[in-house]
Structure 1
Amino acid sequence: MQLGRWIHTSAMLVAVSLLLGGCATSSTTSEQALDQLLADPALAGASVSLMVRDARSGNTLYQHNPRTRLVPASSMKLLTTAAAMDVLGPQYRFSTQLLSNGSQQGARLMGNLYLRGLGDPTIQWADYQALAASLAGQGIQLIQGDLVFDDTWFDAERLGVDWAHDDEDKYYGAQISALTVSPNSDFDAGTLIVTAKAPVAVGQPLSVTLSPPTDYVQLSNLAVSGPGNSYGLNRQHGSNLLRLSGTLKPGTQSRQWVSVWEPTQLVANLFTQALAEQGISVQGRRVIGGVSPATATVLATHQSAPLQELIRPLLKLSNNSMAEALLKAMGRQQANAGTAAAGVAAVADFLRRQGLDPATLNQVDGSGLSRRNLVSAQNFTDLLLAMGKQPWFNAWYDALPSAGNPDRLSGGSLRYRLRGTAAQNNLQAKTGSMGGVSSLTGYITDAGGRRLVFSMLTNNYVVQGSRIKAVEDRVATALCRSELAREGR
C-alpha cells in the first residue's frame, strides 16, 4: 500500500512539474496536470466545478463538472455588480435627501423634516453632519414638526434569505436598510467599530469607544486587562446589547466591527445628535419609517461616488452591504420595488439580454452569503465572456482583486495569495469563502499571451479552507504558465 501510494504521488508530482516547470507544456500534459491537481487529497469527497475557456473565442479548453451547480459564496458578487453596471449604469449615484412639507419662517421650519435614504451604503457620520450643517446654513434653528426617517425606498426585510443566525452580529452579516451609515471608508454599512483599550494595570476594565459615537447601543463590559488575550465581543440577538468579555494584554487595544439591530434607528440617533450640534431643535416626534410626501421640497442632498468607482471597494474587499444595496436598488429601478426578489429578477433580465439563461442558476441575494445561491463554472465563464463585450468592461475588470498585489485596494482579497508566481499581477479574479465553500473566478493570461476565463467552485470539503485555496492557487499558476490546446476537450 505504501509503495503504491508513493508511485501515485510521484506520478502526480511529475505531471505538475512538467506543467509548472515551463520546459514541457504540451496541451495533453497541461490537461493531465489539471486532472492531477483536482485529484488532490484535500478535495476527496468534495464537489468541484472547473471550467477554462479562451476569452476571445469562448472555446472550452478544460472542464470538470462544468454544469454542476454549487454554492458560490462571494463570487456571486460578479453577477450582482455586472448587472448593476448595466441596469443602473456606471454613473449611477446613491442619494440621501433632507426634505420638508412645510415652509421656513425666519429661523423656524413650519412642518415636518424628512431624512430620506435611497439606499446609500457609503454614507458616513461626517456626511450626516454635513447635511445638518447645510440646514443650519439656511438659517433654520427650530423644526416645528416631526423628524421623519424615511427608509421606504427598500423593503423592511433586513436580512437575506437563509443567512446564518451566527452571522447576524458580524460586519459581513449587517442588516440592510435604505437609510444606513458606514463607520469607515470600507463602507461596512450598518456596523459600528468598537475599540477596546486595556489599561496597564492588570484586572482593570477595558475602556471602550464607538465609531461613530452613539448611545444607540448598550455595553455589558466584563472584559479586563490581563494575560491570555481571550477578549471577545458579540451582540445579543434581537437587541443592541454588546457584550465584552475575556482579557486583553495590558497596554494593547482591539478594534472589532459589530452590526447593529435596525440601522435606520442608528441613523435616527446620529442625525438627531448632528442637528443638536448645529443648535437645531425639534418640537415634534421622531418617526421611523415614515414616507416623504411627493410634494415635499428638497432642502439638501448627499450623493455617493458613481457606481463605476463604488464597485472597486465592493469587489476588492468583498463588501456584502454594498452588494445587497445594489440588488435592491436594481429592483427599485426596474420594478419600482426595493426588494431582493425584484433585484434578482433584474439580474435575470440582464442575463437574458446577454444571451444567457438565468434558469440554469439560482440567486437569492446580492452578496453570496446565502447557501441557497447555486451557480456553475459554466455560468460564471459565460458571464465573464459576456462582460468582455460591455462598454464599461475595463472599470469592472479593474475592480476585481489582483493576485499578489500588496496594495489593499488593488490586491483586495487576493493580496496575500500567489506572490512570487507567474499569476502575480496577472490573475484578476473574485474569491469566495464560507464554511465548506470556496471559489475563484476570473481572468488570467497564459504563457502564450492568450487571455483565459476560468471558474473553480468547491463545496462540501472537510479540510481547512486554506488547503482548498492552495489548490486554487496551483490551478491558477498552472493556467498562466501553460498553453492548453486551442480547442480543449
Structure 2
Amino acid sequence: IAEFNSSRKLIPASNTKLISTGLAIRGLGPSFRFSTRLGYSGYISNGTLHGDLYIIGGGDPTIASGDRMTVKTDSLFAKWTRALRVAGIRKIHGHVIGDGRFFDGPIENDTWSYNDLGTDYGTGGNGLCFNRNIQTFSVSPTTVEGKVNAEVTYPATPWIEFRNCAVTARPGTGDNLYQFNTDLAPVAELRGSLAIDKGQKKESFSNKFGALTCAWEFAKYLEKLGINVTESPADIDPYDNIRYTEAWGKDSTRTGFRYGNMAESPENLTLVYETKSPSLKEIAKVTNSRSDNFYAETLIRMLAKKRTGSANYDSCKVVIIREMDSLGVDMSYGAQIKDGSGLSRHDYIAPEFFCRYLKAMSASPVFKQWLYTVGIAGEGTMAARLQGQSESLKHRIKMKSGSMNGVLCYSGYVMPSPGKPEDDMIIFSIMTNNCPEGGSKVRSFIDGLLMRIAK
C-alpha cells in the first residue's frame, strides 16, 4: 500500500516482543507450561530432613508475580508445604536452597544499558525467580539536599547491603532515582534525586537474587507454620557452590554471604512435588499487553533451552536465526536481534523485516493463538492511541507498541471489517527513531496514519 525508508534498520524497542512471543508460541506450543519442582538431599528420620530442601526452578517467570493468571504466593507455598508433610518432613536440618541453574549464563543481556540494570524493567534472572525479580521501596523526600528516606517494603532481602546516596532536590525536578546493583555481590546503591514536592511514593527496582529470595520467603513461611529450618536460606552460585545468607533467625539483619559445599545435581535429589505455570499463551498475552521485559526474556531463553540445551544469550541469538529460517524469514538482511524484550539499543530491525515476519506468522498454524496475545489500540500500553475513534475500529487494529527515549514504533495487523474476506488483512510497521522529547506530534501523525489505513 505504501512504504518510506522501509529497509532502514531502526531501534525497535518493545516491538521486539512480537518476535519473542511469536517464536516461543510457535516453537514451544501455546499450551506449554513451565515446571518448578521440590526435591531434597540427605534422608528423613523421625520427621526431620537431614539434608537440604531444593526449590528447582524450570524458568517459570510467574512465581509470586501477583498476576491474575497465577496462583497467589501463600496458596503456592501451602501446596509446597503439604507436599513436604506428605513426604514426612516436619523439620529441615539444613538449608532451603533456591536452584536457578536451569538457565545458564549471565542473568542480564550484555548489551543492556548500565543504568537500566537496576530498574524494574531491567531485572533479568536465572531459572528461578520471585515477584518478577522486582523489589518495592517506600521513598520520600526530606529537606533540599538532604538524603531521601528509602525503605524496602517487599520482598525482604536482608543479606543485601543497601547504600543510600539519593538526595532531595528542589520542587519541580521530578523523580530521578536509580538503583545500581549486581548479582556479583550483595550490595545495592540508591542514587539520584527526588523532588521535595513529590511526597511519599512507591518505587520499584530490580532484585538480582530471585532464586535466593524465593528460598528466603518459603523458609519464612515454613517457620511460621512451625516447620523449623535450622540453616539459613541459600542459592547456588555460577560455579555450583551453595551460597547462603549471613542473615537468619536471631541474626536476621546481617548482610553478606557465606559459601558451603557443592550443590547436588537435580538428578541426584529425591523429588517430592511439581507445580506448573499458566499456559504460554496466557503468559505471552501479559508479556505483550504489559510490555513485560522479564517475561519476554524468559520466553526466548526457554526456547533456546529447548532447542540447544542452553539458555545463554549466545544460544538465543543462534536459535532466533534458526527459527526465522524455519518460518521462511531470511535474517541475512533487515534485522539484528540481541535480546527478547527490545531493551537493548543494539537491536536494529527494519519495518520491511517486521512485515515479512508478520506475514509469515499469519500463515503459521499457531497464528490465531498468537494473535490472541497481541494487544489492540486503546488498551494496555496503547491506551492513549486512537482516542475518539470507535471501539469497533480500535478492536480491528492488533498491534504492539515500542518506546524508549527517542523511539516510537508500532507494528501489527489491521484486521478486515466485518463481512470482508480474511485476505483483506493489512500488515504494517511504522517505526521512528530520534523523536523530539515527548513525541506528541509524532504520535498524532501515527494515529492519523493508522486511522487512514484502517478505514
Shorter-chain TM-score above 0.5:
yes
Change (3 A) 1:167 1:222: closer
SS of alignment partner, residue 31 of structure 2: coil
In the alignment, which residue of structure 2 is the partner of 1:98? 38
Q: Which moved more, 1:323-332 or 1:262-271?
A: 262-271
> What is the rounded CA distance, in whole Å, between the counterparts of 1:458 and 1:371 in structure 2?
14
1:400-440: CA deviations, max 9, x gaps? Answer: 22112xxxxxx111112112226422211011112222210
1:212 aligned residue (155, 164, 168): 155
Q: Tell me if the contact between 1:163 and 1:370 (Cα under 8 Å) persists in the aligned partners.
A: yes
Q: Tell me if the contact between 1:205 and 1:224 (Cα under 8 Å) persists in the aligned partners.
A: yes
Q: Tell me if the contact between 1:316 and 1:400 (Cα under 8 Å) persists in the aligned partners.
A: yes
Residues 1:169 and 2:139 are matched in the alignment: no
1:340-376: CA deviations, max 9, x gaps? Answer: 2222322222211221112222111100111221211
Residues 1:414 and 2:357 are matched in the alignment: no
SS of alignment partner, residue 266 of structure 1: helix
SS of alignment partner, residue 11 of structure 2: coil
Residues 1:441 and 2:381 are matched in the alignment: no
Task: Give the residue type in structure 1 aligned to 2:406.
Answer: G
2:371 aligned residue (394, 397, 418): 397
Task: Give the residue type in structure 1 aligned to 2:315.
Answer: A
C-alpha deviation, 1:381, in angstroms = 1.0
Q: What's the % identity of the aligned pairs? A: 27
Matches within 5 A, 1:441-460: 441-445=411-415, 449=420, 450-460=424-434
Larger Rg over CA atoms: 1
Change (3 A) 1:253 1:261: same
Gaps of at least 5 residues in structure 2 are 65-72, 238-262
Q: Tell me if the contact between 2:124 and 2:297 (Cα under 8 Å) persists in the aligned partners.
A: no
SS of alignment partner, residue 130 of structure 2: coil
Q: Tell me if the contact between 1:192 and 1:211 (Cα under 8 Å) persists in the aligned partners.
A: yes
Matches within 5 A, 1:202-351: 208=151, 210-217=153-160, 218=162, 220=164, 233-238=177-182, 239-242=187-190, 246=194, 253-283=200-230, 286-289=234-237, 290-351=263-324
Q: CA RMSD in A?
A: 3.0
Normalised to the residue count of structure 2, the TM-score between the two structures is: 0.80
Q: Tell me if the contact between 1:76 and 1:367 (Cα under 8 Å) persists in the aligned partners.
A: yes
> What is the rounded CA distance, in whole Å, between the counterparts of 2:141 and 2:377 in structure 1?
37
Q: Give the count of matched residue pairs.
A: 405
1:273-299: CA deviations, max 9, x gaps? Answer: 233223233345635244533132222
In the alignment, which residue of structure 1 is the partner of 2:60? 120
Q: Tell me if the contact between 2:148 and 2:193 (Cα under 8 Å) persists in the aligned partners.
A: no
The higher relative CO (CA closer than 8 Å, separation ≥ 6) is in: 1
Gaps of at least 5 residues in structure 1 are 1-60, 183-188, 405-410, 482-489
Matches within 5 A, 1:80-95: 80-95=20-35
C-alpha deviation, 1:224, in angstroms = 8.3
C-alpha deviation, 1:113, in angstroms = 1.6
Q: Tell me if the contact between 1:133 and 1:278 (Cα under 8 Å) persists in the aligned partners.
A: no
